[in-house]
Structure 1
């Protein structure tokens, strides 16, 4: 930035400095301005100081404005108090807005309606109910207690904090209401799940006061349930005027409830569409597995933003098309006009993890490091997960150890990773370290640590962790945790104890729990308990082929071939097909997948020739 602009002006003229204020973008620019006003004496100029506070209070350089405000004691300038409070209530530190408001009262500055509304905004963002109540009391004692603008602010505050009945009390006591009052309370009921109360108020509202916001609030409330879709559509059809929010709300409602034809019908009739419109429909088709249609919609878009790319990539990953997701990620980068955000990178890492493409993961990790992106959120979790699933547990540990800040999710990711690799003792060490560092384990932590104990044969340690779960950490066991316990005991041969765990479960065991017991019975050739487990699986109507295969193998293990045939007949009658096991290998960036007796591979002849040679060599 040039500080010698307007050379024809005197050095101590205020004009060049005022013109330069709006051009300040960086800390270096601020330092230059600060130095300039100090050296030329303009720092003593009250109007310059005031303009600096006003300019920077609405920018990212709020701390600079706050410094000037606190240094030069503008304690009776209400406009400046409001400017500074607004910057914090709408910015990253709403708590400081409440502190400033308190300081304002201490300095005997009488707040106006804007001061009150700004501090209420801060309270609602923090869900600070007690602070908001105190503000309400102050308003009630002031001359502004019947001001419509402030009453509307109070309604919004109570609704955002979840106290809709208190908001309704404020609404009912208002001597005068405007359309904002009605819209605020209706929206509050909708967002807190009380569509019937919202509908009642909607019916009481004068037709002239109903605007787009009113209709859109009601539609967005009704589309949350399948039953409400028809009412929402009827209201949509009654609307004299519709905006993008109206159309998008209806399409989103149809998509959420799987009514894609109705969503597409509205989509085709829209004259103007935005990113949200396209994202809703693409997400909807991906959700029902129609990724080909989702991709066609994606390709038909003239302009795409990062959100659209993320939605399409996530659709591929959710449907198991992880390689396509990675191709799309590379296409996004090659087009060059968009930079991946955190969600893009998390999705790409998940895709790489699912197909074991560690080279892709390394490239993404390199991008993260080059751009100095923080790993203290989901990005760090996804990176640990990727390395674990791709077989590089050392790299996963390196990422975990080098995190500046860790959350429970990071601990969970590394514990689950160690469990996958059968490193139960290391996982246990981290679990106890986690407790010592005051991180509270959640239900996912215990699934991870119990799996680690199961895969490492740590029976006593598994029982201890299960005991700590509810007694020390107050985490109520779910069916997955009981399944882990059955697996721990079953693998170690404690089949009676495993059955006892199922019998004493406070919740009904699902097919996964019974399958864990059946698998253990097959491994330890316990026919009696295995038959009981199989009976429960059949009663549950399980269509998982592994249940039938385990039962068939159990019968075969004790020579009951007639029962083996019966199981196979049952599979045929129920149209249960065994999914063939497959193996894959990545070579020169290409993943090759093989199943038993596979022939379609383009180099199948060469592969079988080499296998025959290897077998002949062994003989």
Structure 2
């Protein structure tokens, strides 16, 4: 079109921006910010074209550009576009809210929603859905300590209830999309009674409605209720999708229901849904039900090799203390050309640690970086420290602690404290205790672990905080 010297109008640019957004949805993020470089580069070029064609102040076009930047994870650009609007309407506010929600910035989304209300704008059904999604994102946030997280969940619930009440007044609370999002919000906030009420009063239900309620039960540990609702869904002739099956597997996994796992296996096979995530979930469920034979059999049946499925099988054997089978599967993966990832090595090294197979565990740790170019993370260091500490090889533990290139998380120090208890190593236990509290002050598990070391060694000294603290 440009080569033919045809000047695009606002509709043409909106369509191109939407196409770029579809590309962003398929692209894998390349950094911690979640940015998608290919789509982002095209988006920036299109942004330049908007200025060239003097459409940078067209609300219709700018909203599409804002949506694109949000999908690319380029939040600074998205915010700049939002601030550049000559006049903000409900659609543009909703686009910015949606961008925050897509990037799991629930808190920012809700602050923007408050600002929107202060500006006197009327909220419609679309905006309500986005705000309810923001409440869910805030309730699910795990980036802070438990106390702070509970405070966030309380705030999310209060705002969610207010949005629900507002939607009820405006007579779109039982719109299908809004109702589904309300159920999901209450489920994420742990208020199952209110989720059940909304589920019960919805006149029309689709698969998303059933999934939201089943997920709410499964996530809150009400596994029996989740499976009962799954069976009821079958009675209503609603065909389960991948989401339904994953949460049904999660529930059966927690309950250890092997019969349900077998039924779900047939559902997956008959529907031809042997996707990576479903296959891994089924293998994991078989493992949790201690049916490793079924887990291995299903792994061998798969027509495509999914890394997640192999990891699930290795983890299942590791969980049962079968280190030999975990190591065998790792070698089989390599022979089949499946490259292991960080999770694979965590499972194998942990299995070696719990069975005392030190040499093979150490070799796995070394091969991570040497053979597969995988940079060890905190959990890898925790597993290898645990391996050497359980074996009483504290000289290698000390060498590892000195060579760790990153601030380790508390799991490393708690593993070390447990091993010090077994081997009466009081001096190293104090060192591990101090570092555990530096990572997370007032960590109850660290105090309990050091108390056990002292009690086992017959020491009655009072436990203080880390050096330099009271």
- Pairwise TM-score range, normalised by the shorter structure: 0.7 to 0.9
Query: What is aligned with 2:48?
Result: 169
Query: What is aligned with 1:144?
Result: 6
Give the C-alpha shift of residue 166 in structure 1.
0.8
User: Alignment partner of 2:405: what SS?
Assistant: coil
1:371-386 alignment, distance < 5 Å: 371-386=270-285
CA-to-aligned-CA distance 1:258-312 (integer Å, 9 cap, x gap): 4222222221122113333233333333333333333333333333222222222
Quick one: which of 129, 137, 142 aligns to 1:248?
129
Quick one: which of 248, 258, 263 aligns to 1:358?
258
Give the C-alpha shift of residue 519 in structure 1.
1.4
Give the C-alpha shift of residue 464 in structure 1.
1.6
Query: Is the CA contact (8 Å cut-off) linking 2:319 and 2:351 kept in structure 1?
Result: yes
Q: How many residues align?
A: 420
Give the C-alpha shift of residue 149 in structure 1.
4.3
In structure 2, how many angstroms separate the alpha carbons of the residues matched to 1:184 and 1:530?
57
User: Alignment partner of 1:472: what SS?
Assistant: helix
1:34-49 alignment, distance < 5 Å: none
Query: Is the CA contact (8 Å cut-off) linking 2:106 and 2:135 kept in structure 1?
Result: no
CA-to-aligned-CA distance 1:84-141 (integer Å, 9 cap, x gap): xxxxxxxxxxxxxxxxxxxxxxxxxxxxxxxxxxxxxxxxxxxxxxxxxxxxxxx332
In structure 2, how many angstroms separate the alpha carbons of the residues matched to 1:220 and 1:555?
53
Q: State whether structure 2 residue 221 is matched by structure 1 residue 320.
A: yes
Pair 1:405–1:199, CA change in 2 (3 A): same
1:51-450 alignment, distance < 5 Å: 139-146=1-8, 148-158=10-20, 160=24, 161-163=39-41, 164-174=43-53, 180-191=60-71, 192-193=74-75, 194-203=77-86, 213-221=91-99, 224=105, 226-227=107-108, 229-235=110-116, 243-257=124-138, 258=153, 259-270=156-167, 271-273=171-173, 274-334=175-235, 336-369=236-269, 371-450=270-349
In structure 2, how many angstroms separate the alpha carbons of the residues matched to 1:339 and 1:228?
34
CA-to-aligned-CA distance 1:59-84 (integer Å, 9 cap, x gap): xxxxxxxxxxxxxxxxxxxxxxxxxx
Give the C-alpha shift of residue 231 in structure 1.
3.6
In structure 1, how many angstroms separate the alpha carbons of the residues matched to 2:336 and 2:53?
52
In structure 1, how many angstroms separate the alpha carbons of the residues matched to 2:300 and 2:399?
40
In structure 2, how many angstroms separate the alpha carbons of the residues matched to 1:222 and 1:364?
36
- Where in structure 2 are there 5+ consecutive unaligned residues? 25-38, 139-152, 466-470
In structure 1, how many angstroms separate the alpha carbons of the residues matched to 2:450 and 2:6?
77
Query: Is the CA contact (8 Å cut-off) linking 2:40 and 2:69 kept in structure 1?
Result: no
Quick one: which of 424, 449, 453 aligns to 1:554?
453
In structure 2, how many angstroms separate the alpha carbons of the residues matched to 1:272 and 1:324?
28
TM-score by length of 2: 0.80
Query: Is the CA contact (8 Å cut-off) linking 1:222 and 1:232 kept in structure 2?
Result: no
Pair 1:188–1:407, CA change in 2 (3 A): same
In structure 2, how many angstroms separate the alpha carbons of the residues matched to 1:387 and 1:354?
11
Pair 1:144–1:541, CA change in 2 (3 A): same
- Where in structure 1 are there 5+ consecutive unaligned residues? 1-138, 571-619
Query: Is the CA contact (8 Å cut-off) linking 1:499 and 1:517 kept in structure 2?
Result: no
In structure 1, how many angstroms separate the alpha carbons of the residues matched to 2:84 and 2:322?
60
Give the C-alpha shift of residue 390 in structure 1.
0.9
In structure 2, how many angstroms separate the alpha carbons of the residues matched to 1:449 and 1:171?
53
In structure 2, how many angstroms separate the alpha carbons of the residues matched to 1:241 and 1:319?
34
Give the C-alpha shift of residue 236 in structure 1.
5.1
Pair 1:327–1:543, CA change in 2 (3 A): farther
Quick one: which of 437, 444, 453 aligns to 2:352?
453
Select the structure of larger CA radius of gyration: 1
Give the C-alpha shift of residue 489 in structure 1.
0.8
TM-score by length of 1: 0.62
